[in-house]
Chains A and B, each alone.
Chain A
């Protein structure tokens, strides 16, 4: 810390930024300009390319084409260290501080030029001097683990400023904060930007935040920059429409029969639950799914869909309310799900629905191994029937076209699409009354997606009630009979699919009800 480093906000511009992963274009020719001292918001759905964009700017990914200009000059950023040296900093959605160290220790060890032996008297004096210029008041002597989420977030930001960031990227900074904390933090940053000390780029899903704090915004959709401008010039409906697009290409899968009004299969009333961290709470007042019906739950990831799925799958306990299936209370035990013919297909099937090191045949047997002859309708048995297991596995592999070297190969050796086929083969081979699926097509290739969606519709056509929880709005619009939007742990909007408008749904997903 000898020569005074240059200070003042940086102007950032990207030119033709493009990033391809194999054949998939995650970012397509994005040119964006953020003036020095600006506060710019980046909007878009999950998978729109926001994270890819900021990772390219920060040098985590080398862009396939395009460049970054800092203060009008082309800058090659080769990695996070290079970005730090140029005055670019990023605050992640999740905390990156060392919990057992104090705030002061976290700041000093984060510095690239920290000496091997620290002179704490000098460091403390320097820190006190630095903090005097900061807009946040923070106690740097307490271990980070003792700080509240809002204080940690402030410390993350202070750390970037301490590391001399003059351009700061915030990735959904308020997802871990209470509304009051969020307002305080963003207000202070806006103040710094207005004073010309900092340029801010904020990824956000929340229109209210964007309108209150950002000065300009850009919208990404499927890797392309689809619009933007000054905040205030665009209405919320404009922004929502840009985010979700026209969706003219949406094809409704062939549906047979109408939802059966008389047969209500799943009923959720006043359900409350909290995730392990205690940060996210859900409160689902009323959710019903009838036979012959697909109810899609749309929402930006992290708005409580995972917790709802975990409660229905028996992985976390509800703190209140009730879940009933066909009029009887449901707690997710094996006996209950057998009696009511409930099937649950979680997201990321290899991680959540399979034992990766067990064989394909064994994974296929998870549902019926405790029945005689590996037959789901058979009487219970104590003895494992390996021969029946292997016979059934070969049958399912052939019927669902699961590509595997052998039924004895570990299931982890299969491709993602084939793991999902195997899980569907296990769960959908005999009559289903309630099917709960979460992000069923995440990460799969085009052919597998079409096949898996048609299997879900086929289950509905055969009379099942289907609860589809998905972050992919296209999938929701394509498959659902009825659509609910989940935001901040609540169901905030409901519409029949026939009358659904993507823009209205998008607006509710963005927290504007």
Chain B
């Protein structure tokens, strides 16, 4: 602005004194990339600091807490495998938030899609009995994916074509999914043999998905990692992902460019729902062996935290899900050793979420991370 008014007639491009040297451009590149790591890390530290006050108020030592998180989540091969096992559904659940977020949508109904996916997989297993697992297991996964995609895709369609707020709609749809699943598990799909805990009929040993080679962690982790990599490629490396970012960055600009905004919204929400449903599929096919109320374990909600901490970047979801998986894995140990209620980890997660949301307002505020502010300073000096 300043340069415009002071020298309107000058050929700006040639005599441009502001063109930064190469070294500065590299520093600028680094600075922009550091920001999205430094701010979430700072937020996690701040969240833990507030959580420490909570522990101190209860007369517990924050250091002892950290030590137990380390031992319960990361300190031994057993703990590590436990954390990875818990990280697997979080990867899928986080993608259900991160993919629609590319379009500027906040979808929080992943829990419903997980449960519905699990029920769909368990229901699909029944007519497939007797088939080769090589054929039946993918078909079960397909049933789960179709259910989840339809459920969250419907939220996207309501948003795109009817202007319904996707956050509220996904939350309400999640409750409907839970109610529907309970109805099916306790009604049509109920195994008469499940007396105390209503469940669907077991899918059978033959259809169970095994562990990753050399690990005691089921295949859900491997597929989850692949899903994150694929989501990264889709959002960052394809033109479809770029179109979604334009629509998320400015809906009007996307419409004026003639981009199919409605179709993008429906596709990305459906894809997110499909991912969440895969979490439900693995819970059934790799963990429980049937669908019951255990499916509703809150992965969908922890997934929201994972996605926000990862800033909706599918690659960053990998370490964040591992971290959160570890914290959840150590929850039992913390309860026993520190005599803390089982909601303690929820308190920590809630605090982290709050701090992460607040930290969203800090982007572009710190000079070391914002090269355009350096330039302004240099211009003002010269």
Contacts and interface: CB of A to CB of B under 8 A. Distances in A.
Contact of A384 (B20, B242, B259, B372): B242
Contacts of B37: none
Nearest to A370: B239
A408 B256 contact: no
B257 A410 contact: no
B375 interface: yes
Interface string B8-36: 11011100101010000100110010000
Nearest to B11: A401
Nearest to A316: B255
Interface stretch (A121-129, A133-141, A294-302, A331-339): A331-339
Contacts of B16: 403
B249 A410 contact: no
A369 B249 CA distance: 15
A354 B240 contact: no
A190 B40 CA distance: 63
Contacts of A408: 28-29, 32, 371
B301 to A, nearest CB: 27
Contact of B13 (A354, A357, A401, A447): A401
Given A384-B239, A408-B29, A447-B4, A355 B256 contact: no
Nearest to B257: A366
A5 interface: no
Interface in A289-316: 313-315
A369 to B, nearest CB: 5
A344 B250 CA distance: 15
B196 interface: no
B258 A445 contact: no
A369 B239 contact: yes
A381 B32 CA distance: 28
B253 A337 contact: no
A405 interface: yes
A380 B25 CA distance: 31
Nearest to B364: A410
Contact of B3 (A346, A403, A406): A403
A346 B256 contact: yes
A383 B237 CA distance: 6
A13 to B, nearest CB: 36
B162 to A, nearest CB: 14
A352 interface: yes
B5 interface: yes
A440 interface: no
Nearest to A381: B239
A384 B257 contact: no
B115 interface: no
Interface residues of A, number: 47
A332 B258 contact: yes
Interface string A372-385: 00000000011110
A354 B238 contact: no
A332 B260 CA distance: 10
B8 A353 contact: no
A16 interface: no
- Main SS of chain B's interface residues? helix
A369 B242 contact: yes
A367 B20 CA distance: 27
A406 B25 contact: yes
Contacts of B260: 333-334
B381 to A, nearest CB: 14
Given A334-B258, A346-B252, A355 B245 contact: yes
Contacts of A252: none
B246 A314 contact: no
Interface in A407-429: 408-410, 413, 415-418
A313 B32 CA distance: 34
B303 interface: no
A382 B256 contact: no
B243 interface: yes
B256 A384 contact: no
Interface in B237-296: 237-243, 245-246, 248-250, 252-253, 255-260
Contacts of A369: 239, 242-243
Contacts of B256: 313-315, 344, 346, 352-353
B1 interface: yes
Nearest to A386: B237
Nearest to B25: A406
A393 B257 CA distance: 18
B372 A405 contact: yes
Contact of A406 (B11, B13, B20, B238): B20
Contacts of B253: 352-355, 366
Contacts of B246: 355, 358, 366
A356 interface: yes
B8 A446 contact: yes
Given A401-B13, A405-B372, A315 B3 contact: no
Given A398-B13, A405-B375, A358 B245 contact: yes
Contacts of A352: 250, 252-253, 256
Given A358-B249, A366-B246, A384-B238, A445 B257 contact: no
Contact of A383 (B239, B249, B255): B239
Given A366-B257, A405-B374, 17 more contacts: A314-B255, A315-B255, A334-B260, A344-B256, A354-B250, A355-B249, A362-B245, A382-B238, A384-B241, A384-B242, A401-B13, A403-B16, A405-B375, A406-B20, A408-B28, A415-B1, A418-B4
